[in-house]
Structure 1
């Protein structure tokens, strides 16, 4: 049973992301196009579970399946698609068994890449929505201290609402850039 722990934003999370991104790039090699910091630890000022989420864009998702061994050598557990078609998911715990990283790998052309990046960028650009998300996460962590499924389910409708807003916001930004 995993405890649900939400903590204040830690400015060191970006450095932890940078270090892990370099290690993952080394493991996945030339298949890697980009590594992005996503999830709540990538949004300054909000509370988050202290787990660094990395989104990796690759040229070939099939090639990732052939690169499981180097990821295992980095301490990752191979989870396959883990509920999202077209994704390869890896997770890592520290020596005390506490989760420290999640890696979400997609082909560079996946709509999931755009969705995750739009969510992160929207939240950074809209601090009032980010604050609401932070407050919701704290409330859910208190409500479900030992029930990760309850915590995740409790965030679902808020995330879906922000996904819609973020998609519209990104489309508007793209339209504005194309007219300038």
Structure 2
């Protein structure tokens, strides 16, 4: 069973992103338009589950599937859209996850949503602290119940996302 663990920000997360981004660039080549570090590990000072979220943006989402075998060779489990139309999602590390890959095609509204959320937390310390403290509390309250952890932070995450999208200029 997977334990929900939230820890203090680690400087190594940025390096882990860069190392994995290089691997993805080698696999997908010029299909990648951009690649972003997203999620809580991309926000300096934010408490987070130690899982690196990476968002490559590609020219054509349908070209991603042909790389599933190579992604498996470097430890990723391809999950298809995994509940979000137009996305390709990969997990690395099994029950001890280390990385999540969220691939979108240029123009997807999901790109702006992820970047706005990240950048808002990077520039709004009160929101960052409130979000981190809530995640830490929920991880302690529900150490083996990821669904309750996710549901517990949903309302605040949606409120931050709403404010972030109003604030964000891309």
For the criterion TM > 0.5, the same-fold answer is yes
Give 1:24-63 correspondences, 5 Å limit.
24-63=24-63
Rounded to whole Å, the distance in 1 between the matches of 2:98 and 2:93 is 5
Give the structure 2 partner of residue 21 of structure 1: 21
Is the CA contact 1:28–1:70 (under 8 Å) kept in the aligned structure 2?
A: no
TM-score w.r.t. length of structure 2: 0.97
Rounded to whole Å, the distance in 2 between the matches of 1:116 and 1:75 is 24
Give the structure 1 partner of residue 78 of structure 2: 78
TM-score w.r.t. length of structure 1: 0.92
Q: 5+ unaligned residues in a row in structure 2: which ranges?
A: none
Give the structure 1 partner of residue 157 of structure 2: 159
Give the structure 2 partner of residue 131 of structure 1: 129
Compare 131-140 and 69-78 and name the one that shifted more: 69-78
Give the structure 2 partner of residue 11 of structure 1: 11
- The offset of 1:159, in angstroms, is 1.1
Is the CA contact 1:7–1:48 (under 8 Å) kept in the aligned structure 2?
A: yes
- Which of residues 139, 142, 148 in structure 1 aligns to 2:140? 142
Rounded to whole Å, the distance in 2 between the matches of 1:38 and 1:9 is 14
Rounded to whole Å, the distance in 1 between the matches of 2:27 and 2:147 is 31
What is the count of residue pairs matched by the alignment? 170
Give 1:92-131 correspondences, 5 Å limit.
92-93=92-93, 97-131=95-129
* Alignment root-mean-square deviation, CA: 1.1
Rounded to whole Å, the distance in 2 between the matches of 1:57 and 1:25 is 11
Runs of 4+ deviating beyond 2 Å: none
- The offset of 1:66, in angstroms, is 1.3
Q: 5+ unaligned residues in a row in structure 1: which ranges?
A: 175-180
Give the structure 2 partner of residue 177 of structure 1: none
